[in-house]
Amino acid sequence: MLSAELIAVGTEILLGQIDNTHARYLSDELAKLGVSVYLHTTVGDNIDRLTSIIKQAMLRSRIIILTGGLGPTGDDVTRDAVSDVCKLPLQFSANAYENHVLPYFCQIGKQPSDTNRRQALRVGDAEFLPNPRGTAPGQYLRHDGHHFFLLPGPPLEMRPMFEESVRSRLEILAGSAVIHSRVLHLYGIGESDVETMLQDLYQTQTNPTIAPLATEGEMVLRLTARAAVREEAKALITPLEKELMKRLGSYVYGFDDVSLVQVVFRELLGRSKRVSFAESCTGGLLSSMLVDLPGSSKVFEGAIVSYSDTVKKYALGVSDTLLERHGAVSEEVAKAMAEGVRSALHTDYGVSITGIAGPGGATEDKPVGLVYVAVDGESGVKVMRRVFPGNRTQIRIRSAKLALHLLLQELTR
């Protein structure tokens, strides 16, 4: 199997100032291509250390992807290090300077400095990889059985370059074997319960494999098959997916690249229904999740963030009696909030959230993490209660997802 290593270059990563976000992105892309990632390394802007790391990587892996260190200054040593290791001189390419460095400066209306000429230094006979989003073109070098990709550090430059110029080259290198993945998204069941229900499959499945992953309040199962052609890989997955749906189907809300809020958005859109939210402890988080999707105005009317009781009363019409008798965090108030926002904003559905996100605010019978969500629609009002673990941010995220889950149930019942 083809193996690869990732080397991130940048002292700012070793100082803890920024995350190396490339590692996950590139590993995920390589996994999809069936390329096995052997190691991730992060090294500072230091040519001796980088040279030594590249030499070690060449002993282990055929593909070496370097990110960062392609800028114009003397700190940017990736080109020099690859040139040293491969004993291939750096040569100024007038062609690359004109076609890859100058156009960006032209676009942003600035003059390049002399140092920018460094960015057109080619390692041996490397191919330049276009970077219309910045000053640093990438480079692709074949040398002595190895394949080097030199990519820029900023994610907004590196990721498009990977998609436009790297992936297709790796597909050719990865050759005949293809990898196909199918992802199942689950809500309402925990990792250990899934493990118990699938124990026999975990132990016997090798192609396809099953990989579980727990995220905030959700679960993902990734089925991955390897075969000579895509259709064959897909056919390997089909029976396993059917078996999983038989066992866990009631928890599965979507497939592949979706999120809970996207599924809810599509269901609303498909039914031409509009929704409004009344948020207390989540404080606008649920609305913000929906508005982050382009086109959300087609289904979303607006929200009342009723953080104080006064707003619950005057903007949502929750009665004093209810608030005094049951408290703001109660089944009764959750229902009244959902009904109130649906009626105030004239939508098909009204969704509410009220809870105690902590760290303060708990009482003897109402712990931190207690949350009620309610959905009011044509068939009346439904409510759910949960006590979530975690810190304030986690409780707020889980509460917003619970509300989406209840809305999805009402939409698809």
Q: Which is closer to a second copy, CB of 91 or CB of 319? A: 319
DSSP state letter for 294: T
As a whole number of angstroms, the distance between CA 21 and CA 36 comes to 18
410 lies in the site for a second copy, by CB under 8 A: no
Q: Kindly identify the residues of this chain, within the stretch 32-71, that bind a second copy according to CB under 8 A.
A: 37-44, 49, 53, 56
Among 90, 102, 210, 211, interactor with a second copy by CB under 8 A:
211
Q: Kindly identify the residues of this chain, within the stretch 217-256, that bind a second copy according to CB under 8 A.
A: 222
Compute the chain's Rg from CA coordinates.
27
318 lies in the site for a second copy, by CB under 8 A: no
Measured in whole angstroms, how far is the alpha carbon of residue 187 from the centre of its chain?
17
Among 111, 310, 321, 379, interactor with a second copy by CB under 8 A:
310
Query: Which of left, alpha, beta for 295 (phi over 0: left; psi -120 to 50: alpha)?
Result: left
Contacts with a second copy by CB under 8 A: the residue count is 73
| Interface characters, 129-168, with a second copy (x: CB under 8 A) | ----------------------------------------
392 lies in the site for a second copy, by CB under 8 A: yes
Q: How far is the CB of 346 from a second copy (least distance, A)?
A: 7
> What separation in angstroms does the CA of 26 have from each of 23, 42, 136, 176, 280?
6, 14, 19, 21, 39
Q: Virtual CA dihedral for 322, 326, 330, 333, nearest 10 degrees?
A: 0
294 lies in the site for a second copy, by CB under 8 A: yes
Among 283, 362, 382, 383, interactor with a second copy by CB under 8 A:
283
Q: Kindly identify the residues of this chain, within the stretch 260-279, that bind a second copy according to CB under 8 A.
A: 277, 279
Q: Kindly identify the residues of this chain, within the stretch 321-360, that bind a second copy according to CB under 8 A.
A: 344-346, 357-360
User: Where do we find the tokens 């590249």?
Assistant: 54
| Region near a second copy per CB under 8 A, out of 97-105, 157-165, 194-202, 281-289 | 281-289
The answer to whether residues 338 and 318 touch, using CB atoms and an 8 Å cutoff, is no
Residue type, 404: L
DSSP per position, 299-325: TEEEEEE--SHHHHHHTT---HHHHHH
